Structure 1
Amino acid sequence: MSPPLNARQPPRSFRDRWAAMRNVPPFLRLVWRAGPGLTLATLALRLCRALIPVATLYVGKLIVDEVVRLIALPDGPATIGGWWDAGLASGLGWLLAAEFALAIAQDGLSRLIGLVDSLLSERLTNGLSVRLMDHAATLDLKEFEDAVFQDKLDRARRQTAFRMTLLGQLLNQIESVVTILSFAGGLVAYHPWLVVLLILTLIPAFLGEAHFNARTYSLDYGRTPERREMDYVRQVAASADTAKEVKIFGLHRFLTDRYMTLARAFYAQNRRVAVDRAAWGALFAALGTLGYYAAYVWIVAQTLTGALSLGDLTFLAGSFQRLRTLMETLLTSFGQTAAQAMYLDDLFGFFRVRPDIVSPPDPRPVPRPLAQGFRFENVGFRYPGSDRWAVRHLTFDLHAGETLALVGENGAGKTTLVKLLARLYDPDEGRILLDGRDLRDYDLDGLRATMGVIFQDFVRFNLTAGDNIAVGRIDARDDAARIRAAADRAMAAPVIERLPAGYGQMIGKRFANGVELSGGEWQKIAIARAYMRDAQVLILDEPTAALDARSEYEVFQRFKDLSAGRTAVLISHRFSSVRMADRILVLADGRVEAQGTHAELLARPGRYRELFELQAEGYR
């Protein structure tokens, strides 16, 4: 069973915030899997670069001490050439060359690290995106129809793109730790209390940064629904799909006002956090500066008394300043890493969601061909979070090779019945049998593969015309003859042949050179998907809603011929379509109210005859 989607609240206590660091090891494992060679390369390069700052500073100390020694020599040469000819400046020359080599090496390493990190980041982004899509494909339909899950999915989707910041932080922290240890070793060699003083002055800044990062995350976590609404409003206000109604109904001002209402609330909350962070940050920075100058005064005093050389002064002052900056950055980065790790909770929390509808441990293969068909036995189902039964006490048979039509008013349970038949949901009561065995005993992928389902709210993919049909059986995408045959069966071939690039034409307006189709043309493309699937069971849920009367008649005549010998379920509000079914079920309030042929149902009083006469009256 999946954990409750709203079980986790944003962390509040300091302990809760740091508990999120448990996400770092699994994240690093993801990095390693994304590119072991690249990971080793960036670590090795960073280790080399981490030692360059202390080496450069120490060479600088030696240069200062050598210059002081040379200046103190009696009767020193008056020119640079003189110093060199006398052999007095050769040591200084080698030191200057060493410092130059270190500078060149640091620049070269930085460029290599940037290259390796960019490649590693891209591979990690791609790997996380694929894993998210793969995992989403395993989850139940109920999750995607739940607003809380949509918030969770939205946060997880954003993490696949934005966790590159965390990768850079972790790699920089590893490098900074090595550099800090090298500088700290130099300070400890002189006086250990310098390092202690430094740490004490940086702790407040670290705790403050951790606190404000947690506040920022809590705000982001709590505002996910509003952020999704902002994205939705922005899309509606500037989208080809909605442009006509936005203009006709004058919705522009309403949408921009709604967007600005949400944006102002976001701005006010962000402003409060930013002001508090700036004020406390200034205080903490002042403490760090105070610690640095206390140490600097001590180093200068020791130099004046002769306990330290001028080179030692340069090295210690530079080391303390660099160490302070590095430790301040590192501690702040640790706080930011904890914040980033909290965001990782969104990603790993999504991966922890598990489907309820799965294949059994030892699934039965779906029979080919179907022998008996389907049987609903006292089936009851409620959508998650609803107290209302969508269907209840539902009992009927769908015989193998039979065409069954479902008729009823909106909300009668027709589409719910189809979702249960395709096992997009499982019943809360009763059971559904296929050839005498519970539907849950069969392999789930095999069960769905045997069905061709076209819902009334089918997806209009922004793909080529050929691919829009091929999605019905995507593993046959390269079978052009099959795609053309499916288009011909659905009467979509003339539509496609009129397109500039035929089956290779991009349809939909999302991408350049895309051609938009009418609702009826899209519907024919969608019906072709069902024929592309070549399934044992065909399910058409309002498949001709956007077609004119002549096209609808032709489609159903073709459907009747092509579905011969197959099991078919047809949902339609048009009685001219359902009358060709072998049997008609009349649904009301989630139950079977009546069943029979078109003639039988018209012959007796009831809902079917009433609806038929109402529809017929509209055509007179």
Structure 2
Amino acid sequence: MNSKLRSANTVLSHLLKTLSLVWSASGYWTLAWIILVLVQGLLPAALISLTPRVVNALVQVSGTGISGASIQKVLVPVGLMAGIMLVGELLNSAAEWIRTAQSELVQDHISGLIHQQSVAVDYGFYEYSEYNDKLNRAREGASGRSLALLESTGSLMQNSVTLLAMAAVLLPYGLWLPTILVISAFPAFFILLYLNKAHYRWSQRTTTDRRWLMYYDYLLTNSTMAAEVRLFDFADYFQSSYQNLRRRLRKEQLKFLKDQTIGRFFAAIIALIITGIALGWMGRQVLLGILTLGDLALFFQAFNQGQNIVKSLLGSLGQIYRNSLFIGNLFEFLQIKPEIINPPNPIPAPSALKQDIKFRQVTFRYPGTQEAVLDNFNLTLPAGKIVAIVGDNGAGKSTLIKLLCRFYDPNSGSIELDGIDLRDFSVKELRRLITVLFQSPIPYYTTAKENIALGDVAAASNQLEIEAAAQASGIHEKISRLPLGYNTMLGKLFPEGTDLSGGQWQRLALARAFFRRAQIIILDEPTSAMDPWAEHDWLERFRSLASGRTAIVITHRFTLAMQADIIHVMRAGQIVESGSHDQLLNLDGLYAQSWRDQMEAGSSTTVKNSLI
């Protein structure tokens, strides 16, 4: 009983939240919809109440010939019925218009909520499979489910009004008739309720499977995968994986449909038997002269339509239950609270870094893992200097970026800007101080100008500053040769787009990073996709580009590390060596050994310039 009560409370809670959400999105359209639903609910009963008048009038004038009096006797009730039917058609057209307007507004509103929440949640959530399941469930028809819940609620309201009117029509013939009318639809309702709950559980259980389907589809259709799929002949393997998974899910879904069909068939047989008993009783009353043919016609219409209405009404309750379960996924997603938040009284972020960035006794492990990436880690990055951080893969270099950008907070210890803990600043203000070129920059399919301006969307898109950033990164000449210069659409996803090479996309991302004009520049492998000539050209300008700012460069390349004022060598989450290039060579440690190994490896520029 307690579980049923909780289930009912959950459905009611989701329904109220959905109605609030729909009202927020569509306001007066929702008010118009409610009024329309109530009026439409009264029309069927109004039509049926006129039926005995029409039938009895026809019986009275039958055989009297065509005359003005006989026609007038029939014309009035028929005219009223025609008027009600005309109003019904008008309301149906209005309802379609209102529902379409509601649908568009609700869809946009819910999409906006999901987009806002997707950005608001912590970066770390994206590394959880469970979070990705929640996101997928929320996105999977969230607006459709909300509108379906609204439609089911509207249908419930309309059918309730109609049923009350029908009961009032049938009540004079006996209290048992409205009662048996309702009872006849209960078998179908309970079958629907059971199957809806079973389908919801199946949907929850197979969320990860459906994400696998999306992943296989992405591998087979996305342009970034096209070359490898063809070269390594992955297509048959991934197609087979997709089809096998689809086959299993399809069989499970078809089984649900089969069970639903069989259940509805047996429910229909029960309803038919009950209807037959009621009709037999009414026929007996007509033969005994207790009721007229008009009464029989009214009863047949009222009972037949009433039974369908009860089915629809209980079906609407079932749909409300089902959709409330699914819409609960949206509300569950929207209730996720980020942990990386602003302090109660944030300290204003400094306009310029004056002293240093310090990692003090920082210990950090990624959520869901036991091994610490950084353990009592200490590092000082002086203001206004170029600092290179080098080391093997997995040493924790990229983790430093994530912590400095406050994508995560340390498990213990602190990270400070000019002696102030990062957690004492507003998250947005802190990130305004930082510009980052990530190791795998994102290609944004928009114009070259907009690509660079995305580095600082809050700033005015000044063409001169955009070009200056492009020149600083070495992409200006390439953009100038494009068909429409800085107004050229980039990428092949949309019409008239022009694609760039990997190194050119990287230099464009560098321009975006420079355009931000932030005090702290973080570059993660900024020249990894550049050829040696492009890299040499960029390195010649690098120190002037970083002038007056604090630059943190994560790199495997000696040519870039040599440009730094200080080089820190990381291994297994700790700084093991620090100094300038010459100092580290003199130290004859890990850095010097790597340098000698590379020099002895031969004259290949790519090998020579890489740190192991």
Q: What TM-score comes out, normalization by structure 2 length?
A: 0.95
**Which of 27, 32, 35 is the matching residue for 1:41?**
32
Q: Cα gap change, 1:601/1:103 in structure 2, threshold over 3 Å: closer, same or farther?
A: same
Equivalent position SS for 1:406: strand
Give the corresponding residue for 1:197: 180
Q: 1:62 aligns with which of 50, 53, 60?
A: 53
Which residue of 1 is the match for residue 87 of structure 2?
Answer: 105
- Give 3-state SS (helix, strand or coil) of 2:369's partner: coil
SS class of match (2:553): strand
**1:347 corresponding residue in structure 2:** 330
Whole-angstrom distance in 1 between the partners of 2:142 and 2:478: 39
Report deviation, 1:477: 5.7
Q: Which amino acid aligns with 1:50?
A: G
The superposition leaves residues 90-136 of structure 1 with CA deviations (integer Å, 9 ceiling, x where unpaired) of: 13112222111112111111111101111111101101111111122
Residues 232, 104 of structure 1: alpha-carbon distance in 2 compared, 3 angstrom cutoff: same
1:184-233, CA deviations, whole angstroms, 9 ceiling, x for partnerless residues?
A: 22112321211111222222211110110111111111111111111110
The unaligned stretches of length 5 or more in structure 2 are: 604-612
Q: 1:477 to 1:619 in 2, by over 3 A?
A: farther
Residue 89 of structure 1: aligned partner: 71
- Give, in whole Å, the separation in 2 of the partners of 1:478 and 1:605: 49
Change in Cα spacing, 1:503 to 1:184, as seen in structure 2 (3 Å) is farther
The 1-side partners of 2:453 and 2:142 are apart by 29
TM-superposition CA deviations, 1:229-263 (whole Å, max 9, x none): 11110121122211111111111110111001101
Structure 2 CA distance for aligned equivalents of residues 193 and 617 of structure 1: 100
- Separation of aligned partners in 2, 1:590 and 1:289: 75
2: CA distance, partners of 1:291 / 1:502: 78
Which residue pairs with 1:513 in the alignment?
Answer: 496
Residue 602 in 1 paired to residue 609 in 2? no
The answer to whether 1:543 aligns with 2:526 is yes
Aligned residues: 600
CA displacement at 1:17 relative to structure 2:
4.9
Distance 1:538 1:390 in 2: 23
Q: Distance in 1 between matches of 2:47 and 2:295?
A: 14
Distance 1:614 1:14, change over 3 A: farther
Letter in 2 for 1:108: L
Q: Equivalent residue of 1:242, what SS? A: helix
The one-letter amino acid paired with 1:41 is: A
The 2-side partners of 1:535 and 1:505 are apart by 27
Structure 1 position 13, deviation (Å): 6.8
Where does residue 214 of structure 1 map in the other structure?
A: 197
Letter in 1 for 2:464: A
Secondary structure class of the residue paired with 2:363? strand
Q: Greater CA deviation, 270-279 or 245-254?
A: 270-279
Q: Structure 1 residue 292 and structure 2 residue 265: aligned?
A: no
Write out aligned runs for 1:308-347 (5 A): 308-347=291-330
Amino acid at match of 2:39: C
Aligned to 1:127: 109
SS in 2 for 1:365: coil
Task: Please tell me whether residue 154 in structure 1 is matched to residue 136 in structure 2.
Answer: yes
What is the letter of the counterpart of residue 510 of structure 1? Answer: L
Would you say the 8 A contact 1:61–1:314 is kept in 2? yes
Structure 2 counterpart SS, 1:461: coil
Equivalent of residue 404 in structure 1, options 377, 387, 401: 387
Contact 1:601/1:608 (<8 A) preserved: yes
Give the superposition deviation at 1:35.
Answer: 1.6
- By how many angstroms is 1:16 displaced? 6.1
Deviation, 1:429, is 1.6
Which shows bigger deviation, 63-72 or 248-257?
A: 63-72
Query: What's the C-alpha RMSD, in Å, of the aligned pairs?
Result: 1.6
Deviations 1:429-471 (A, max 9, x none): 2111111111101111000011001111222222222222122
Question: Amino acid of the residue matched to residue 521 of structure 2?
Answer: L
- Give per-residue Cα distances to partners, 1:464-500, cap 9 Å, x unaligned: 2222212211123643333222222211212222222
Does the 8 Å contact 1:553/1:577 carry over to 2? no
Structure-2 separation of matches of 1:221 and 1:209: 18
Match of 1:265 in 2: 248
Matched, 1:593 2:576: yes
1:188 alignment counterpart:
171
Q: 2:465 aligns with which of 482, 492, 499?
A: 482
| Residues 140-179 of structure 1: per-residue CA shift (max 9 Å, x gap) | 1100121110111111112434222222222222222211
Q: Distance in 2 between the 1:596 and 1:352 partners?
A: 48
| Range moving further from structure 2, 116-125 or 366-375 | 366-375
- Matches of 1:556 and 1:394 in 2, distance apart? 30
Structure 1: distance between partners of 2:469 and 2:52: 80
Whole-angstrom distance in 2 between the partners of 1:351 and 1:358: 16
The corresponding residue for 2:606 is none
After alignment, is 202-211 or 13-22 more displaced?
13-22
Write the distance in 1 (CA, Å) between the matches of 2:168 and 2:538.
Answer: 83
Residue type of the partner of 1:118? T
State the alpha-carbon separation in 1 of the partners of residues 161 and 310 from structure 2.
Answer: 11
Provide structure 1 residue ranges, at least 5 long, that are not aligned to the other structure: 1-11
Q: CA deviation at 1:378?
A: 0.9
- Is the 2:106–2:143 contact (alpha carbons within 8 Å) kept by the matching residues of 1? no
Separation of aligned partners in 2, 1:112 and 1:617: 82
- Taking only the aligned residue pairs, the percentage that are identical comes to 33
The separation in 1 between residues aligned to 2:531 and 2:257, in whole angstroms, is: 59
The alpha-carbon distance between structure 1 residues 619 and 277, as it changes in their structure 2 partners (threshold 3 A), is same
Structure 1 position 524 matched with structure 2 position 493: no
CA distance in 2, matches of 1:159, 1:618: 57
Q: Comparing 405-414 with 324-333, which one deviates more in the overlay?
A: 324-333
| Aligned-partner residue type, residue 30 of structure 1 | L
User: Does the CA contact (< 8 Å) of 2:388 and 2:567 recur in 1?
Assistant: yes
The 2-side partners of 1:543 and 1:513 are apart by 29
Q: 1:462 to 1:14 in 2, by over 3 A?
A: farther
TM-score when normalising by structure 1 = 0.94
- For 1:22-41, what aligned pairs fall within 5 Å after superposition? 22-41=13-32
The answer for the alignment partner of 1:304 in structure 2 is 287
- Counterpart check, 1:365 vs 2:356: no
**Alignment check: 8 A CA contact 1:390 1:413 kept:** yes
Q: Partners in 2 of 1:386 and 1:272 — Cα distance? A: 40
The Cα offsets for residues 275-312 of structure 1, whole Å up to 9 and x where unpaired, read as 22222221111111111121111122112222222111
- Pairing partner for 1:136 from 109, 115, 118: 118
Shift of 1:538: 0.5
Q: Contact 1:17–1:214 (CA<8 Å) still a contact in 2?
A: no
Give deviations 1:9-67, integer Å, cap 9, x for gaps.
xxx97566544412110110011111211011111122222211111122222110111
